[in-house]
Structure 1
Amino acid sequence: MKEDLPPQCLIVDDNRVARLMLRQFLEKIAVVQIAGECEDAISARKVLQEKPVDILFLDIEMPGMSGLELLKVLPEKPLTILTTAKQGYAVEAFELNVVDYLVKPFSFSRLILAVERAVELLRGKDTQLSQISPDFLFIKERKVIRKLDLNDILWMEAKGDYARVHVPGKSYIIHSSLRLLEERLPSPRFIRVHRSYIIALDKIDYIEDMVVHIHDVAIPVSESYRDQLLQNLHLL
């Protein structure tokens, strides 16, 4: 996404009425620009090869190639919001790191939430992890290099190719995998408790039924990380 330009989006759906309704909704939101429409995934693939977009609104069940099949063959995937009449594809969809999964008929307010999430992730593309020292890390947020004190970090969570870093009253989305953060953050000060979560050990309020609670937020502990967490708690 070029700075100061609205995100470009592509609508892909074999149903003409569904495309029209989505277009009308998006025109009301006005924070994105509609770059085009396609009535099937095969056509969409050709369009994306010639003219990449920022956000893809994608139906799943279409003739010739499904929306999920399209995502699997795209070398560079736009941020994708799935729009489908079926709920049964949700697990497979989120394994492909889609931004959101909207079940038709969805409301205007529900679409707004999905678009806001995608736009926030797009902004995160311009937020890079710069450096981590024993006491702080730097993140580059567009033209601003921001210093984050490690003592302020509560937890981090995976968001596809991004990570959300939570501090009191605020969070930052950075273009870094959770794996990279885990490698670079001091251990055991920060510990992985789930494939999607790293927590600050000293920020734990309590643990109940292997769910960590930090600032009234419940964070699951997966079985594979349970023993490591317990070892680092130094229980009496």
Structure 2
Amino acid sequence: MSPIRCLLVDDEELALDVLEIYIDRLEGFEVAGRCTDTFEANYFLQENNVDLVFLDIQMPKINGMEWIKSQKNPPKVIFCTAFDRFAVESYEVNAVDYLLKPISFERFEKAVLKAAEIINLERDKIASDKDEFITVRSERKLYKIAVDEIIYIHSLSNYYKIVTPDKRIVVYGSLSALENKLPSSQFIRIHRSYLVAMKRIEAVSNTSVLISGKELPVGRKYKSSIETLYPQKND
């Protein structure tokens, strides 16, 4: 998969330097450009495509908040600012995150991985419905996983685990977000914590599903879906 292209917009060169250093430490991202004001950013976007903008707010001429609101089709944005008073307003432009300076690498990385999940989801939606693979990020690496190989996915609080015959990949994100990436004709939710490949199901009961030799629970909320697909006749 092509790297996520980032535009850095801040009127302080030192702040731009810090962002560029942080991005260079992560795989799957690249700095497409650096701008010191929003007018320069406008010119850049006219000639270049970017996926993600790191945007300061307090800048000369037009501030970052006003600028992003003026964009007809804005890229995803992560605000990087020394002021917290714009945090609520950032929700109006669907900002991915709102980082307060000075920004630690750990906090920066968390925001960027969140952005990567959103951007990759959108990329997958744009791709053909016949696409046989999904991409996920785990431990700073991008994994390309064949949909046909997935046995089940197990939600683990803010993470989920994708189980295939030869892999166990733990990914930061929500099970619901991943569910939207997968074809509904091939996967079924059996529990708030489990999404399974229907072709892998070996047996069902009122309380569980046997899949590749492992028994997984069926949640009360999802029993009707299981019963519709696998009606159980009473003798």
User: Which residue does 1:32 correspond to in 2?
Assistant: 29
SS at match of 1:44: helix
SS at match of 1:10: strand
Q: Is the 8 A contact 1:9 1:32 kept in 2?
A: yes
SS at match of 1:126: helix
Q: Is the 8 A contact 1:82 1:102 kept in 2?
A: yes
Give how far 1:26 is off.
1.4
Measured in 2, the distance between the counterparts of 1:95 and 1:173 equals 26
User: Which residue does 1:48 correspond to in 2?
Assistant: 45
Measured in 1, the distance between the counterparts of 2:3 and 2:33 equals 14
User: Which residue does 2:54 correspond to in 1?
Assistant: 57
1:170-209 alpha-carbon deviations (Å, 9 max, x no partner): x51748xxxxxxxxxxxxxxxxxxxxxxxxx9549xxxxx
Give how far 1:141 is off.
4.3
TM-score, normalising length: structure 1:
0.57
Measured in 1, the distance between the counterparts of 2:54 and 2:76 equals 9
Give how far 1:25 is off.
1.5
User: Structure 1 pair 18/141, CA: closer, same or farther in 2 (3 Å)?
Assistant: same
The equivalences for 1:71-90 within 5 A come to 71-90=68-87
Measured in 1, the distance between the counterparts of 2:74 and 2:21 equals 24
User: Structure 1 pair 23/94, CA: closer, same or farther in 2 (3 Å)?
Assistant: same
Give how far 1:44 is off.
0.4
User: Structure 1 pair 59/173, CA: closer, same or farther in 2 (3 Å)?
Assistant: farther
User: Structure 1 pair 126/69, CA: closer, same or farther in 2 (3 Å)?
Assistant: same
Q: RMSD of the TM alignment (CA)?
A: 4.0
User: Which residue does 2:175 correspond to in 1?
Assistant: 166
Measured in 1, the distance between the counterparts of 2:82 and 2:25 equals 23
1:142-165 alpha-carbon deviations (Å, 9 max, x no partner): 79668x9xxx99xxxxxxxxxx87
Q: Is the 8 A contact 1:11 1:58 kept in 2?
A: yes
Measured in 2, the distance between the counterparts of 1:173 and 1:110 equals 26
SS at match of 1:127: helix
1:198-231 alpha-carbon deviations (Å, 9 max, x no partner): xxx9549xxxxxxxxxxxxxxxxxxxxxxxxxxx
Measured in 2, the distance between the counterparts of 1:63 and 1:20 equals 19
The equivalences for 1:1-236 within 5 A come to 3=1, 5-128=2-125, 141=134, 166=175, 171-172=177-178, 174=180, 203=221
Q: Is the 8 A contact 1:14 1:39 kept in 2?
A: yes
Give how far 1:95 is off.
1.6
User: Structure 1 pair 123/65, CA: closer, same or farther in 2 (3 Å)?
Assistant: same
Give how far 1:101 is off.
0.4
Q: Is the 8 A contact 1:124 1:173 kept in 2?
A: no
Larger radius of gyration: 2
Give how far 1:66 is off.
0.9
SS at match of 1:29: coil
Measured in 1, the distance between the counterparts of 2:111 and 2:59 equals 22
User: Structure 1 pair 41/98, CA: closer, same or farther in 2 (3 Å)?
Assistant: same
Give how far 1:59 is off.
0.4
**Which amino acid in the other structure matches residue 172 of structure 1?**
L
TM-score, normalising length: structure 2:
0.57
